[in-house]
Structure 1
């Protein structure tokens, strides 16, 4: 369990640092002439070296997340990944010349405190692997999420970013659940398991929706939606179908820790707004001033 928690936190560090790099890359990339969700956007941002470096960190973070998910309940890993925003806030401050306000330092502390409570209360990973029905259901959900994401890209500006962010969070949640549904990592086992395809489709959908939201809308709203989508849904699946439990008698402590970690992350959602400011510029640090990626 100790190794799993270390991997979960290290994963959050990788994802949080990658987010800052990808924020700058997404904002420096032309949006193109299409409306809504455009898959070609991913091809354009791949020309940005910061985005590529962020992807490399995401790859390392995913490997660490995979190790954590095979050792810890999904609710613990999900809350640790919500701590990505705390990492983003701390990294964005010196890199993008932003200043954390006292309440945001408090939010960072709340996230860390929530994770500490979860570490104390978490039991071992649930030993249920789910049946074929759950694997197929996760794949169908991933496909539906992709289709709905294209529709969400055409919503009015006010609601679009939040819905796209929520969709991205659900896509990342599909990845978390799918990892737990993998029976093995041999080519034959992966090809025969619907969860393998759900993992790929969910992860790709999440990246596409999140990149679109960060470039074309309020990223504070998108980030908040993402945090909710990638924590609450997967945690419920883990408890209801995969046997995730807390240590005996410590369920209230786990709920408190989970709530603190997610609430603290939501309080830091403005760091989805990390602006790609010029070195000589004085950035506006008010929420929703200049959207970007956390």
Structure 2
């Protein structure tokens, strides 16, 4: 659990830095899967630092996923939204309302309850069908991004966020489906390619979402995509369980952490100006998007 929370801290701080870098990059074609936008964003030092934090967070996430049920890790990673909100209040001068501080407390309380209730990871490693299914799901993330590029602005942000969440969710499941690290076993396991493909697609969609206006709805969709789906896979296919008699507490903790994260997804939504404000581009740069991994 400490590793999962450490990953949430890394991802939460990285989101602020990468959002600033993505919005400073020259706009791309408008496609949801815009590799050129990613290349332009990498030229920003903030994005590079964010990538380094993402790398550290990913290592911590791997450690957590090899020891904890997926639902516990997913809920902990959703706490990155709380980290982002607190970090933004320090680095960007953003202010948290009483409701948002209450949401931070709700996330922390839910995670504490979930940590007490979590058992060890399930004994299941999934079958061949689940491994190939995870690879197909990773490929589908690219299809979501391509389709999102043709949608109106607001719908596009929601589709990009949900697609990025699915991609990160594929990574969480794929880690559990890798049951051997020898080259002969690893390279013939479809889950390895699902991990690489899903993670890469999620980064592309996320970078596009960070650049295009308010990503409030996209953030909520991403949190749902990377927590609920993988948690169900862990329970139904990988035999994740709670400590004996603690199932109700685990459900309550999961719901509290998720609810608090979704409330924080509205943090940074710009208020409608009472007077004529700055140009649209400046307004977009002032908004705070929230993200994990």
Query: TM-score higher than 0.5 here?
Result: yes
8 Å Cα contact 1:214/1:222 also seen in 2: no
8 Å Cα contact 2:162/2:225 also seen in 1: yes
8 Å Cα contact 2:216/2:266 also seen in 1: yes
8 Å Cα contact 1:24/1:293 also seen in 2: no
Q: What is residue 165 of structure 1 aligned with on the other side? A: 161
Aligned equivalents of 1:228 and 1:34: distance in 2? 24
Q: What is residue 137 of structure 1 aligned with on the other side? A: 133
Aligned equivalents of 1:164 and 1:115: distance in 2? 27
Q: What is residue 51 of structure 1 aligned with on the other side? A: 47
8 Å Cα contact 2:69/2:234 also seen in 1: yes
In terms of mean alpha carbon deviation, does 115-124 or 148-157 score higher?
A: 148-157
Aligned equivalents of 2:2 and 2:217: distance in 1? 29
Q: What is residue 181 of structure 1 aligned with on the other side? A: 177
Q: What is residue 283 of structure 1 aligned with on the other side? A: none
**Unmatched runs of 5 consecutive residues or more in structure 1:** 275-286
CA root-mean-square deviation: 1.8
Q: How does 1:240-279 map to 2 (within 5 A)?
A: 240-271=236-267
In terms of mean alpha carbon deviation, does 243-252 or 227-236 score higher?
A: 243-252
Aligned equivalents of 1:268 and 1:95: distance in 2? 17
**Unmatched runs of 5 consecutive residues or more in structure 2:** 271-282
TM-score, normalising length from structure 1? 0.91
Are 1:238 and 2:234 an aligned pair? Answer: yes
8 Å Cα contact 1:169/1:229 also seen in 2: yes
Q: What is residue 18 of structure 1 aligned with on the other side? A: 14
* Per-residue deviation, 1:17: 0.7
Please list the CA deviations of residues 225-259 of structure 1 after superposition, one character each: whole Å capped at 9, or x if unmatched. 10010000000000000000111111111111000
User: Equivalent residue of 1:270, what SS?
Assistant: coil
TM-score, normalising length from structure 2? 0.91
1:79 to 75, 92, 113: 75
Q: What is residue 70 of structure 1 aligned with on the other side? A: 66
8 Å Cα contact 1:110/1:260 also seen in 2: yes
Q: What is residue 119 of structure 2 aligned with on the other side? A: 123
* Per-residue deviation, 1:98: 0.5
Aligned equivalents of 1:7 and 1:106: distance in 2? 24
8 Å Cα contact 2:164/2:222 also seen in 1: yes
1:114 to 68, 85, 110: 110
Count the aligned residue pairs: 279
| Alpha-carbon distance change, 82 to 34 in structure 1, aligned in 2, over 3 angstroms | closer
8 Å Cα contact 1:214/1:291 also seen in 2: no
* Per-residue deviation, 1:38: 1.6
Aligned equivalents of 1:44 and 1:57: distance in 2? 19
Q: What is residue 26 of structure 2 aligned with on the other side? A: 30
